[in-house]
């Protein structure tokens, strides 16, 4: 049996329960392997503390979160070395694909983890990583992170299991589908054939949250602090928005054709969900055994989950009350009288929706995202009438987006009157159509071989200065709320 150490190099300044940790742990433990976690979240001199920053700029509401959690002033590298010496792992693994993929914090985990591990002197374990950057281009990942022994593209639960089963037999190990590695003997970078997509999520054992420290579960939510976990009912998205990392995974699994309205052809084969029975059993466990109050659903588009599954889940939840609230993300065009009733019965307390920016034409022509303003307005109004909290997601600094577009987006948010407003800089995730377009227009100062989205987030747009973008990022919510400084 192998010993696998997971590394969570989180810099967000708050606890998070990455879905990949829960899913990969359950698979490995079910086959007798030993798994432990080193979590970087609460090291004071490691974190960038996005939570404090976004509370100050009013994207998040004030809470007593920092009264409940304790940050360590210890040296993170020394603690990591001690963990490795005590556990003596055969494999160290970090960064992976699940539903929990759409934030900058997830994307940059690969280099954050590498930053720590590359400082260790000597090693008698394998360094293995997965995630979006590797799925986009394993060759470029190797170029940027050459000390990694094995790269996993795509979904990695069962690839990592095969690797753990064969870590002592290099010949069998190097035949595993989904792996890439540099062969020193032949001085060649090898990319194995792709692994099969996980067709049914029920084959993954019940997700294991036992690796997380208790304070990781504390989550600020609308001014309160609840016990929360990140969770997925499904994987995949039926849409092909040009800026979204989902397109990288779609391409990896050969789902590349889309309809004139930006939907994936043969989407039913790409979008997969757990069964309603399995979902309810996990929610019941999280509620009753772990005393979780908030389920943070990371499904890319909740209302495109198979409606038979959602209706069966609704029936189960109406029969037996669970003391939970659920926060979901979905697209505005899916919100109507019928689906709002479904959401209320599923205990949905809040809905996050991508507004991105004002202007249906820009969304359609530049982002391959098709939704009219009136449908967005109607969705926000209908949710408010049914007392479901609404969060608008906005992007600034998109290629060809000018200052007028940002001001129109602010005015559009004023019309929507969301309960919460978030704004993010456009990030050119490697391999997405929008990243290719951005690179070709020379909007960014790095070269194509740099996978570091963090460095490119605020680089060189030809329409807005970095100072102007920073101003709108810092003051976006205040401007939406018409508040003075």
Domains of the chain, by residue range, sit at: 3-191, 232-480
Angle ∠(302,305,309) on CA atoms, nearest 5: 120
Q: Give 362-368 contacts, CB < 8 A, sequence gap 24+.
A: 362/400, 362/401, 362/405, 366/242, 366/398, 366/399, 366/400, 366/434, 367/241, 367/242, 367/243, 367/398, 367/434, 368/240, 368/241, 368/242, 368/258, 368/262, 368/433
Q: Give the Cα separation of 44 and 46 in Å (integer).
A: 6
User: Is residue 399 within 8 Å of residue 434, measured between CB atoms?
Assistant: yes
Q: Give 318-325 contacts, CB < 8 A, sequence gap 24+.
A: 318/345, 320/284, 322/283, 322/284, 322/287, 322/288, 322/347, 323/287, 323/293, 324/283, 324/286, 324/287, 324/292, 324/293, 324/294, 324/295, 325/226, 325/293, 325/294, 325/295, 325/349, 325/350
- The number of residues in the chain equals 485
And the tokens for 11?
A: 């810099």
Q: Is 3-191 in CATH node 3.30.43.10? A: no
User: Is residue 368 within 8 Å of residue 356, measured between CB atoms?
Assistant: no
Closest CA to 28 of 64, 56, 4: 4
DSSP state of 412: H
Return the pLDDT at 458: 46
User: Is residue 134 within 8 Å of residue 152, measured between CB atoms?
Assistant: yes
Return the pLDDT at 312: 98
Return the pLDDT at 281: 97
Q: Give the Cα separation of 396 and 404 in Å (integer).
A: 11
Q: Output the tens digit of pLDDT for each of the chain's 485 residues.
A: 999 999 999 998 999 999 999 999 999 999 999 999 999 999 999 998 888 988 998 899 999 999 999 999 999 999 999 999 999 999 999 999 877 776 666 788 899 999 999 888 778 999 999 999 999 999 999 999 999 999 999 999 999 999 999 999 999 999 999 999 999 989 999 999 999 999 999 999 999 999 999 999 999 999 999 999 999 999 999 999 999 999 999 999 999 999 999 999 999 999 999 999 999 999 999 999 999 999 999 999 999 999 999 999 999 999 998 999 999 999 999 999 999 999 999 999 999 999 999 999 999 999 999 999 999 999 999 999 999 999 999 999 888 889 999 999 999 999 999 999 999 888 888 889 988 887 777 776 554 455 454 444 444 555 788 788 889 999 999 999 998 76
And the tokens for 44?
A: 């004071």
Residue 330 pairs with which residues in a beta bridge?
353
Same fold, 3-191 and 232-480: no
Please count the CA atoms within 13 angstroms of the CA of 397 that sit on its side-chain side: 25
**Residues with Cβ within 8 Å of residue 42, at least 6 apart in sequence:** 15, 69, 70, 71, 72, 213, 215
User: Is residue 17 within 8 Å of residue 230, measured between CB atoms?
Assistant: yes
**Residues with Cβ within 8 Å of residue 274, at least 6 apart in sequence:** 201, 202, 233, 234, 282, 309
DSSP state of 221: E
Q: Give the Cα separation of 58 and 476 in Å (integer).
A: 9
Burial class from Cβ neighbours inside 10 Å (0-12, 13-18, 19+) for residue 452 reads middle
CATH superfamily of 232-480: tm_1862 like domain (3.80.30.20)
User: Is residue 33 within 8 Å of residue 1, measured between CB atoms?
Assistant: yes
DSSP per-residue letters across 321-340: --S-EEEEEE-GGG-SHHHH
* Cβ atoms within 10 Å of 133's Cβ, excluding its own: 29
Return the pLDDT at 485: 64
- The position carrying tokens 């490795």 is 84
Return the pLDDT at 459: 47
Return the pLDDT at 247: 94
pTM: 0.94
Q: For residue 131, is it left (φ>0), alpha (ψ between -120 and 50) or beta?
A: left
């Amino acid at each position: 049996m192998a010993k696998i150490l997971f590394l969570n190099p989180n810099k967000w300044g708050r606890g998070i329960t990455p879905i990949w940790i829960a899913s990969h742990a359950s698979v490995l433990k079910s086959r007798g392997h030993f798994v432990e976690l080193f979590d970087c979240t609460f090291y004071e001199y490691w974190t960038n503390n996005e939570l404090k920053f976004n509370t100050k700029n009013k994207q998040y509401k004030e809470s007593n979160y920092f009264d409940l959690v304790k940050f360590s002033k210890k040296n993170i590298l020394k603690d990591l070395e001690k963990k490795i010496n005590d556990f003596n792992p055969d494999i160290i693994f970090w960064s992976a694909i699940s539903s929990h993929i759409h934030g900058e914090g997830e994307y940059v985990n690969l280099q954050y983890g590498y930053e720590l591990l590359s400082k260790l002197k000597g090693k008698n374990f394998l360094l293995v990583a997965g995630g979006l950057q590797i799925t986009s281009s394993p060759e470029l990942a190797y170029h940027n992170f050459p000390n990694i022994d094995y790269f996993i593209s795509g979904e990695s639960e069962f690839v990592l299991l095969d690797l753990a089963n064969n870590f002592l037999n290099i010949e069998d190990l190097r035949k595993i589908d989904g792996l890439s590695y540099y062969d020193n003997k032949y001085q060649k970078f090898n990319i194995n054939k792709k692994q099969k997509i996980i067709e049914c999520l029920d084959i993954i054992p019940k997700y294991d949250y036992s690796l997380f420290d208790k304070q990781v579960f504390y989550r600020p939510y609308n001014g309160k602090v609840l016990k929360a976990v990140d969770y997925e009912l499904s994987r995949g998205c039926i849409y092909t928005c040009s800026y979204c990392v989902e397109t990288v995974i779609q391409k990896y699994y050969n789902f590349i054709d889309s309809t004139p309205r930006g939907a994936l052809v043969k989407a039913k084969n790409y979008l997969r969900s757990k069964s309603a029975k399995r979902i309810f059993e996990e929610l019941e466990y999280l509620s009753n055994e772990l005393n979780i109050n908030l389920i943070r659903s990371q499904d890319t588009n909740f209302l495109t989950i198979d409606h038979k599954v959602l209706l069966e889940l609704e029936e189960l939840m109406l029969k037996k009350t669970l003391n939970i609230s659920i926060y979901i993300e979905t697209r505005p065009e899916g919100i109507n009288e019928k689906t709002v009733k479904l959401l209320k019965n599923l205990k949905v307390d809040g809905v996050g929706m991508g507004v991105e920016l004002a202007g249906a034409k820009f969304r359609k022509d530049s982002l391959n995202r098709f939704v009219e303003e009136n449908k967005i307005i109607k969705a926000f109004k209908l949710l408010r009438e049914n007392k479901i909290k609404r969060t608008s997601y906005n992007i600034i600094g998109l290629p060809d987006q000018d200052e007028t577009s940002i001001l129109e987006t602010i005015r559009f948010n004023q019309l929507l009157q969301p309960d919460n407003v978030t704004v993010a800089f456009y990030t050119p995730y490697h391999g997405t159509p929008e990243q290719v377009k951005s690179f070709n227009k020379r909007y960014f100062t790095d070269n194509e071989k740099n996978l570091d989205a963090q460095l490119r987030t605020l680089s060189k747009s030809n329409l807005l200065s970095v100072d102007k973008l920073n101003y709108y990022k810092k003051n976006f919510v205040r401007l939406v709320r018409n508040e003075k400084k």
